[in-house]
Amino acid sequence: MAVLSLCLAHGNTFFFSIMTKLIVVAFLLLHTSDSSSSSSSSAPGAAGMLEPLFQYIDDHQNQFVQRLKEWVAVQSDSGDHTKWGEVERILNMTAVRIQEMGGTVEFADVGTHQLPSGETVLLPPVILAEFEKDPKKATLCIYGHVDVQPAKMEDGWTTDPFNLTEIKGNLYGRGATDNKGPVLAWLHAVETYQAIEKEIPMNIKLIIEGLEEVGSYGLLELTRKRNDSFFADVDFIVISDNVWATRTPALTYGTRGSSYFFVEVDGPKLDFHSGVYGGSIQEPMSDLIALLGSLLDHTGKILVPGVTDDVAPLTEDERKLYDNISFDLEEMKSVAGVKHFLQDTKEGVLMARWRNPSLSIHGIQGAFSEPGTKTVIPKQVTGKFSIRHVPNMDPPDVERKVKAHLQQVFSTLKSPNRLRVTATVGAKPWVANLKDPQYVAGQRAVREVFGVDPELIREGSTIPIAQNFQEETGKSVMMLPIGGHDDGEHSQNEKISRYNYIEGTKLFAAYFYELSLLQ
């Protein structure tokens, strides 16, 4: 094994050519945790195989951008159920594109959903699609979503969020990076193989939904239902629904989970004039502020007893992964528009964002928030906050501890008002195995397209489907992002650069090839 390692470390391509595929895979599985090892080197002949694919993508990039423009124009905001018709429209457009490429499409029913008003509505379906199968090939399942966050010009957008606009090489529009751009890039990668009449080296399946932004209603149940059918022959699942951490391409091996809380304080029967009742009653808003203020301190430390007790300890191997990440604190301060972070080092900031839990307060419903003045004492207010979970935190356990803490704090206020705490989401964190063959193929593909080793990163946000797929199907799951670190997903002026969109398409095409070598 020492001789094998030495040969690989010196990039002996002749050695690769005479070793059997089985030995190569065995070595890679043992050593891929070292991102500097030659396991990330592309197989001999990769450049010759991939160059015609890359040329086609370059030649058709304007067509690919135009298609993204057509998709961005669909206002598929899943957070507003009155726009679910637009969600279904973009799902139909996606299905038509797959069918035009020769794929088969099923619109899978995922049932109904009860709205806060009590009304029950039919959920938009989920696309289950596949291209022609070869039993001798491994099967890759691609997940993506085509719904988006809300967006309006008055939110602070510079351009119309639903009219893709190119400015200085950036493509601005809602859904450009999250997640319409990456979904199209996958389809364009498949199209490229077909167009130049090269055999796609993997069997390709797709699962595309339209409710990711609101929690993927019905998708977990569908996954369980189709585990013995649609997922039965799947070997790998890949997701491209996040962004790089820096300017360097990345592979993502973990995400945080989350729980969302509502803290409702209910007081008098009516809103009151503060000049009439102020000082004579215990106001719901005062109670709520006290409750929210008890959750964390000025350093960001969560004050809820026991919530962080189960956080997985930092290992030395994990700590080393942060050394090679080219995260520039000063640049990120500028991007974020802040004078300083709560941590002083690159490693501290990244760990706070990726592998440590956090608590964020998001807003107060029922409070006066319009311009001007209004001297009202609201009768009822609801605070909203979330906690991001990390391994080995358990969402139900977190929820129990949060509720107990808030009840205890409320009891000390001696308030005649009524408290109700509810929670939703409850998504688990996800962490992948960096020794998995997908990460070997991903590293090779990044090197082939971008000429650098990818950074191995985690993602601070929550993508529940990654953990759900891994837990329910038992399949290998990887996240392969193409979005830039400054794309502003969920924010004003969301964008994807033309460079990332087109080079990302090449990355996906190369990934098909590299993964096929590791079957």
Task: Pick the catalytic residue from 212, 241, 494, 514.
Answer: 212
**Which residue ranges form the domains of the chain, and what is each CATH number?**
34-255+430-517 (3.40.630.10), 259-312+355-427 (3.30.70.360)
pLDDT at 42: 57
Task: Pick the catalytic residue from 77, 86, 147, 448.
Answer: 147
User: Who contacts 193 (Cβ-Cβ below 8 Å, separation ≥6)?
Assistant: 53, 199, 200, 509, 512
Bridge partners of residue 477, in order along the sequence? 237
228 noted as active-site residue = no
Q: What is the mean pLDDT of residues 99-115?
A: 96
Question: Which of the four pLDDT bands, split at 50, 70 and 90, describes residue 116?
Answer: confident
The label of the residue with tokens 């609101």 reads 214
pLDDT at 44: 59
The label of the residue with tokens 């956090």 reads 358
What is the average pLDDT score of the chain? 90
Instruction: Give percent of the chain above pLDDT 90.
Output: 84
Cα 141 vs. chain centroid, distance in angstroms? 17
Q: What is the mean pLDDT of residues 8-27?
A: 38
pLDDT at 334: 87
What confidence tens digit (pLDDT) does each residue in 79-89 have?
A: 999 999 999 99
What confidence tens digit (pLDDT) does each residue in 350-376 have?
A: 999 999 999 999 999 999 989 999 999
Q: What is the mean pLDDT of residues 448-476?
A: 93
Q: What is the mean pLDDT of residues 331-336?
A: 85
* Whole-prediction pTM: 0.83
pLDDT at 324: 87
Q: What is the mean pLDDT of residues 298-305?
A: 97
Is 173 within 8 Å of 66 (Cβ atoms)?
A: no
Which has the minimum average pLDDT: 49-63, 196-210, 312-326? 312-326
Question: Which of the four pLDDT bands, split at 50, 70 and 90, describes residue 48?
Answer: confident
Is 389 within 8 Å of 257 (Cβ atoms)?
A: yes
pLDDT at 22: 36
Residue 491's Cβ-count burial label (10 Å; 0-12, 13-18, 19+) is middle
Question: Which of the four pLDDT bands, split at 50, 70 and 90, describes residue 424?
Answer: confident
Question: Which of the four pLDDT bands, split at 50, 70 and 90, describes residue 21?
Answer: very low
H or E element, residue 46: helix 46-59
Q: Of 102, 109, 124, 68, give the one whose Cα is nearest residue 204.
A: 102
More confident residue, 331 or 448: 448
Instruction: Give percent of the chain above pLDDT 70.
Output: 91
Most confident of 21-25, 35-39, 356-360: 356-360
Strands (E), 119-275: 120-122, 126-130, 139-145, 165-167, 170-172, 203-209, 236-239, 250-255, 257-266, 272-273
pLDDT at 10: 39
147 noted as active-site residue = yes
User: Who contacts 299 (Cβ-Cβ below 8 Å, separation ≥6)?
Assistant: 342
pLDDT at 461: 87
